Amino acid sequence: MAYYRTQAGKIKKRLQNNNRRKSEPQTEKNSEAMMSQEPREVLTGDGFEPGMVSYLRMVTGLIEGRRVSREEILEMLTRAVRQHSMEACRDLDYRMWHLDREPP
* Residue range of the domain that includes 57: 42-82
Model pTM above 0.95:
no
Please indicate, yes or no, if residue 49 is contained in any of the structural domains.
yes
Please indicate, yes or no, if residue 55 is contained in any of the structural domains.
yes
Please indicate, yes or no, if residue 37 is contained in any of the structural domains.
no
Total domains, the chain = 1
Which contacts qualify for 15-23: CB closer than 8 Å, 24 or more apart?
none
Please indicate, yes or no, if residue 31 is contained in any of the structural domains.
no
Please indicate, yes or no, if residue 51 is contained in any of the structural domains.
yes
Give alpha helix (H) positions in the chain: 7-22, 28-36, 50-64, 70-81, 91-101
Please indicate, yes or no, if residue 56 is contained in any of the structural domains.
yes
Residues 70, 53: contact at Cβ < 8 Å? Answer: yes
Structure confidence at residue 16 as a pLDDT band (50, 70, 90): confident
Structure confidence at residue 73 as a pLDDT band (50, 70, 90): very high
Residue 60 has pLDDT above 90, yes or no: yes
SS3 80: helix
